[in-house]
């Protein structure tokens, strides 16, 4: 199949085109037994569920354009190659945290992978008010393990440089992040949209010099500071959950960047889920209680990130940075601890900044989130979104001052009681 | 010749092996007329001067090992490839600042380039007490033009990412910098050497937790923060001068890294040249006067860097960072100026840190500098080197506090009057 030119799959052609692949048959059974449905609801790709006599698999295939926009916005097929390479690295660095890959075909831009039975997208679950025990711990460990082990703290540096060169090819998807996250929200760019009632708040943000400068400093860090292999799009639509189980999916935006990017995007999406709750849970007591769970989950995410990063720093620091030869081997373990605290503080500061711009772009940019979009009462939606906008600014500008998640969640509760329109 | 396996040149084989290359004949004339001498006095390579009927050319060929150490330390030939690619980029970004390249042969790991008649290595000239009008301006402009135009401030970002991938292959030379500059000087690494009388100062530096942590933060910035294509080894041995003319040579350590690295290494080498003057100029008045010229040159270098960076920021900011669409196009030119001052402040802070570690590694590490090594009076040498060590620490630790070159040079004068042994 590698020699056949790229052709988009349809439910009708999946069995013919993938039926001979042993790794797929091993998980789905003989192709005669397959039932295929297309379920892609994301912005970019085709996603098929293949159900056969032996079980189910997911077939994800890139399209040569942005599905959300159409053929007028071409997007290269090689994002499937980068997704595959990110998935196998994440599986090695954080075992059990991502779907198992069964097959990759670079020319057809497809990955066949584990079907996650009974799982739903976390974003949907957060709108429904469902609790997932251990979610914060899972996400914190995922970030710590993939980021530490995907950096010069844990990797052989020659391997990291070869990998940096490989992922530097993910140009067009980085370009989407660079423009849609860091620049377009801060001026009236063509593809932007926002709820009309937000106009005064939007005007004030776009006239906010300090905010624009800070967002561009964050963009420079994202584009240049290749600290670790990032997931690159780690929001609550890239997490699947089922009860107390969870997996991270869709790393096609993978790139080397600052560790705080993945962490900050996750925090942002929990904060927005909390801020949008008035549109989804009518009962005040239930809403407040669920809001507390969401904020607590974000807090646990950071705490477990920090704890696992610390554990890895003490046990797996075998890269070129902060070498034990300078610290532990000289009887100066305290020096390594001092450096670790500096690094965690820098990741935290970056994360708050990225968190703030993520909140802005989800309300002002091209790619919105369901939590806001599905609030049909436009006045209520605007009220919730305005809180997200002022919240985002407070995080970007305050990223050097806000010390911990307690301060972040306290500010969230403050903002949720107020109206900024 | 590309199909022939690599073979080191000798003066006897240069005419036979390069005589057919039109670009070389055009500059040196027919090979029958060539006289060839080997003049390499650096740490790594063969360098031949070819003198023919038409003129002179330089042939620089990499050896498969570190010349300074011998065959026991292998080093890949591809550094010639990176030197070539750096030279042609520098020539485009800072026209006239580097030798013109006439020919590159990747398999033979050689570059044939312009011979700089009557030029000497700046480091030699600084020991001799020679003044070079305009040197600071030349170096400052070189840094600003190569760094700005070699970054996401000035480049097309897809081109920058492809170039990042290309230079990520310069693994072994980056490895030398990463280890020899940032780590080895701070513990008793095998290849280190220092003047024995420095022992107490060296012990105190290597027990200095804050210094070691800061040096590792700087290493992390060097290894990960790919802001711009650096020269990568921009000391006064990589600059050739003749009166008021100058050229920058030897960019084989080129890599994407933080802008402050090139700038800081240059400042360090001027400071060390000044600190070593008691070993080279006996006359006190002459020495003080020349010291002032050296410090003034470093000051002018930074001032011209800053002025040229500002000019380019205002006229050539066409990359993805700090886009005019957010600032000038919104009538907010002041926002762009505010961002520029932030960026210059960050480059300055980084530069002071890199300056400090460069001073340490030149006194404690493997690769020393002639200014110190050629002081035969060992006690005087130790006195001068000790000043360099305390100076280096003051810069690394003070990089967030020292505001400008006036404070740097004032501190240099303070230190030169004292004895730290």
| CA separation for the pair B196, B202 (Å, rounded) | 10
Rounded-to-10 torsion of CA B400, B405, B410, B413: 110
For the beta sheet containing B35-38, the strands, ordered from the edge strand earlier in sequence to the opposite edge, are B35-38, B45-51, B56-62, B110-114, B101-105
Residues in chain A within 8 Å Cβ distance of B400? none
Question: Given B161, B164, B338, which is nearest A209 (Cβ)?
Answer: B338
| CA separation for the pair A303, B406 (Å, rounded) | 45
CB neighbours of residue B226 within 10 Å: 27
Task: Return the biggest CA–CA distance within chain A.
Answer: 66
- Closest residue by Cα to residue B371 from B389, B385, B357: B385
DSSP secondary structure letters along B63-132 = -SEETTTEEEEE--TTHHHHHHHHHHHHHHHSTTSSPPEEEEETTTTEEEEE--TT-EEHHHHHHHT---
pLDDT score at A334: 98
The alpha-carbon gap from B216 to the nearest alpha carbon of chain A, in Å, equals 6
Print pLDDT tens along chain B (421 aa): 446 899 999 999 999 999 999 999 999 999 999 999 999 876 789 999 999 999 999 999 999 998 878 888 899 999 999 999 999 999 999 999 999 999 999 999 999 999 999 999 999 999 999 999 999 999 999 999 999 999 999 999 999 999 999 999 999 999 999 999 999 999 999 999 999 999 999 999 999 999 999 999 999 999 999 999 999 999 999 999 999 999 999 999 999 999 999 999 999 999 999 999 999 999 999 999 999 999 999 999 999 999 999 999 999 999 999 999 999 999 999 999 999 999 999 999 999 999 999 999 999 999 999 999 999 999 999 999 999 999 999 999 999 999 999 999 999 999 999 999 9
Q: What is the mean pLDDT of the segment spanning A356-380? A: 97
Alpha-helical segments (H) within A29-134 = 79-93, 122-128
The pairing of strands A228-230 and A239-242 is unpaired
Q: CA B406 → CA B278, B295, B297, B303, distances in Å?
A: 22, 9, 12, 11
Q: Which helix (H) or strand (E) holds A37?
A: strand A35-38
- Closest residue by Cα to residue A70 from A236, A187, A191, A238: A191
pLDDT score at A60: 96
Minimal Cα distance from B189: which residue of A? A325
Residues in chain B within 8 Å Cβ distance of A329? 187
pLDDT per position as a tens digit, B218-255 = 999 999 999 999 999 999 999 999 999 999 999 999 99
Share above pLDDT 90 across residues of chain B, in percent, rounded to a whole number: 96
The alpha-carbon gap from B300 to the nearest alpha carbon of chain A, in Å, equals 28
| Average pLDDT for chain A | 96
pLDDT score at B69: 81
User: Could B226 and A227 be called an inter-chain contact, meaning their C-beta atoms sit closer than 8 Å?
Assistant: no
pLDDT score at B3: 66
What is the set of domains in chain B, with CATH numbers?
Answer: 14-114 (3.30.200.20), 120-416 (3.90.1200.10)
The pairing of strands B120-121 and B239-242 is antiparallel
Three-class SS state of A135: helix
What is the count of residue pairs from A and B with beta carbons less than 8 Å apart? 144
Instruction: Name every residue whose Cβ is closer than 8 Å to that of residue A171 and which is 6 or more positions away in sequence.
Output: B157, B158, B161, B162
Q: What is the mean pLDDT of the segment spanning A152-164? A: 98
pLDDT score at A67: 83
User: Could A186 and B326 be called an inter-chain contact, meaning their C-beta atoms sit closer than 8 Å?
Assistant: yes
Contact (Cβ atoms closer than 8 angstroms) between residue B250 and residue A352: no
C-alpha B235, offset from chain centre: 4
Q: What is the DSSP letter of B272?
A: H
Q: What is the mean pLDDT of the segment spanning A62-78? A: 89
Instruction: Name every residue whose Cβ is closer than 8 Å to that of residue B401 and which is 6 or more positions away in sequence.
Output: none
Question: Given A171, A225, A322, which is nearest B224 (Cβ)?
Answer: A225
Sign of the four-CA dihedral A84, A89, A92, A98:
negative
pTM tops 0.95, yes or no: yes
User: Could A165 and B161 be called an inter-chain contact, meaning their C-beta atoms sit closer than 8 Å?
Assistant: no
Residues in chain A within 8 Å Cβ distance of B169? 161, 165
| CA separation for the pair A299, A340 (Å, rounded) | 20
Minimal Cα distance from A167: which residue of B? B165
| CA separation for the pair B354, B415 (Å, rounded) | 19
Three-class SS state of B62: strand
Residues in chain A within 8 Å Cβ distance of B175? 157-158
C-alpha B143, offset from chain centre: 10
| Per-residue pLDDT at A388 exceeds 50 | yes
Residues in chain A within 8 Å Cβ distance of B210? 338
Instruction: Name every residue whose Cβ is closer than 8 Å to that of residue A66 and which is 6 or more positions away in sequence.
Output: A43, A44, A73, A74, A75
Residues in chain B within 8 Å Cβ distance of A165? 164-166, 168-169
> What value of ipTM does the predicted structure carry?
0.96
Question: Given A165, A206, A225, which is nearest B225 (Cβ)?
Answer: A225
pLDDT score at A176: 93
Mutating which of B167, B202, B215, B224 best tests the A interface, going by the most A Cβ atoms within 10 A?
B224
* Angle between helices B378-397 and B209-224 in degrees, nearest 10: 70
Q: What angle do CA B178, B250, B76 make, to 5 degrees?
A: 60
User: Could A320 and B217 be called an inter-chain contact, meaning their C-beta atoms sit closer than 8 Å?
Assistant: no
Question: Given A189, A223, A326, which is nearest B152 (Cβ)?
Answer: A223
User: Could B152 and A220 be called an inter-chain contact, meaning their C-beta atoms sit closer than 8 Å?
Assistant: yes
| Per-residue pLDDT at A1 exceeds 50 | no
| CA separation for the pair A152, B336 (Å, rounded) | 33
Minimal Cα distance from A187: which residue of B? B326
User: Could B189 and A323 be called an inter-chain contact, meaning their C-beta atoms sit closer than 8 Å?
Assistant: no
pLDDT score at B1: 45
| CA separation for the pair A277, B36 (Å, rounded) | 80
| Dihedrals phi, psi of A150, to nearest 5 degrees | -105, 30
The alpha-carbon gap from B181 to the nearest alpha carbon of chain A, in Å, equals 12
Range B81-86 contact pairs with CB under 8 angstroms and sequence separation of 24 or more: B81/B106, B81/B109, B82/B167, B82/B169, B82/B170, B82/B173, B82/B251, B82/B252, B82/B254, B83/B111, B83/B250, B83/B251, B83/B252, B83/B254, B84/B111, B85/B166, B85/B167, B85/B254, B86/B229, B86/B231, B86/B232, B86/B251, B86/B252, B86/B254
Minimal Cα distance from B331: which residue of A? A207
The alpha-carbon gap from A76 to the nearest alpha carbon of chain B, in Å, equals 13
pLDDT score at A83: 98
Q: What angle do CA A190, A196, A200 make, to 5 degrees?
A: 95
Residues in chain A within 8 Å Cβ distance of B216? 321-323, 326, 339
Contact (Cβ atoms closer than 8 angstroms) between residue A153 and residue A313: yes
Instruction: Name every residue whose Cβ is closer than 8 Å to that of residue B384 and which is 6 or more positions away in sequence.
Output: B275, B276, B278, B279, B372, B375
- Closest residue by Cα to residue B182 from B224, B143, B148: B224
Share above pLDDT 70 across residues of chain A, in percent, rounded to a whole number: 99
Q: What is the DSSP letter of A169?
A: T
CB neighbours of residue A76 within 10 Å: 17
The alpha-carbon gap from B215 to the nearest alpha carbon of chain A, in Å, equals 9
pLDDT score at B67: 83
Question: Given B157, B186, B335, which is nearest A212 (Cβ)?
Answer: B335
| Dihedrals phi, psi of A66, to nearest 5 degrees | -80, 115
pLDDT per position as a tens digit, A225-264 = 999 999 999 999 999 999 999 999 999 999 999 999 999 9
Contact (Cβ atoms closer than 8 angstroms) between residue B83 and residue B111: yes
- Rounded to the nearest 5 percent, the helix, strand and coil shares of chain A are 55, 15, 30
pLDDT range class, residue A42, cuts 50, 70, 90: low
The pairing of strands B110-114 and B255-257 is unpaired
N-term to C-term CA, chain A: 57
What is the number of alpha carbons within 13 Å of residue B364 lying toward its C-beta?
33
User: Could B187 and A330 be called an inter-chain contact, meaning their C-beta atoms sit closer than 8 Å?
Assistant: yes
N-term to C-term CA, chain B: 57
| CA separation for the pair A152, B179 (Å, rounded) | 13
User: Could A330 and B206 be called an inter-chain contact, meaning their C-beta atoms sit closer than 8 Å?
Assistant: yes
| CA separation for the pair B348, B354 (Å, rounded) | 10
Rounded-to-10 torsion of CA B71, B75, B78, B79: -110
| CA separation for the pair A401, A81 (Å, rounded) | 40
pLDDT score at A3: 66
How many helices (H) and strands (E) chain A has is answered by 15, 12
| CA separation for the pair A304, B273 (Å, rounded) | 50
| CA separation for the pair B273, B371 (Å, rounded) | 6
């Amino acid at each position: 199949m590698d020699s056949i030119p790229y052709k988009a799959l349809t439910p009708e052609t999946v069995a013919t085109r993938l039926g001979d692949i042993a790794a797929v048959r091993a998980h789905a059974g003989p192709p005669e037994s397959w039932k295929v449905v297309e379920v892609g609801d994301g912005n970019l790709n085709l996603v098929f569920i293949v159900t056969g006599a032996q079980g189910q698999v997911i077939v994800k295939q890139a399209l040569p354009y942005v599905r959300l926009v159409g053929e007028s916005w071409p997007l290269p097929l090689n994002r499937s190659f980068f997704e595959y390479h990110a998935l196998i690295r994440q599986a090695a660095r954080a075992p059990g945290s991502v779907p198992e890959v069964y097959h990759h075909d670079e020319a057809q831009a497809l990955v066949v992978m584990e079907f996650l039975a009974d799982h739903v997208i976390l974003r949907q679950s957060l709108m429904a008010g469902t609790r997932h025990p251990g979610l914060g711990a899972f996400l914190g460990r995922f970030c710590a393990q993939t980021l530490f082990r995907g950096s010069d703290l844990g990797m052989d540096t020659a391997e990291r440089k070869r990998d940096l060169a490989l992922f530097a090819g993910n140009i067009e998807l980085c370009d989407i992040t660079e423009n849609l996250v860091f620049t377009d929200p801060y001026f009236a760019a063509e593809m932007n949209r926002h709820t009309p009632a937000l106009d005064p708040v939007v005007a004030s943000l776009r006239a906010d010099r300090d905010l624009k400068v800070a967002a561009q400093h964050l963009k420079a860090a994202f584009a240049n500071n290749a600290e670790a292999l990032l997931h690159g799009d780690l929001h609550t639509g890239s997490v699947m959950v089922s009860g107390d189980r969870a997996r991270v999916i869709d790393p096609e935006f993978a790139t080397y960047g600052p560790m705080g990017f993945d962490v900050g995007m996750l925090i942002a999406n929990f904060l927005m889920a909390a801020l949008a709750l008035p549109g989804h849970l009518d009962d005040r007591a239930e809403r407040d209680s669920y809001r507390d769970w969401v904020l607590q989950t974000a807090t646990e995410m950071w705490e477990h990130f920090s704890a696992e990063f610390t554990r890895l720093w003490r046990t797996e620091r075998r890269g070129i940075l902060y070498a034990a030869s300078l610290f532990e081997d000289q009887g100066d373990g305290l020096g390594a601890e001092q450096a670790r605290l500096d690094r965690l503080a820098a990741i935290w500061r970056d994360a708050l900044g990225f968190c703030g711009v993520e909140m802005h772009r989800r309300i002002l940019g091209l790619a919105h989130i369901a939590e806001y979009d599905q609030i049909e009462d436009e006045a209520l939606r605007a009220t919730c979104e305005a809180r997200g906008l002022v919240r985002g600014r407070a995080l970007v500008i305050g990223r050097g001052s806000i010390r911990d998640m307690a301060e972040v969640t306290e500010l969230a509760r403050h903002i949720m009681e107020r109206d900024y329109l």
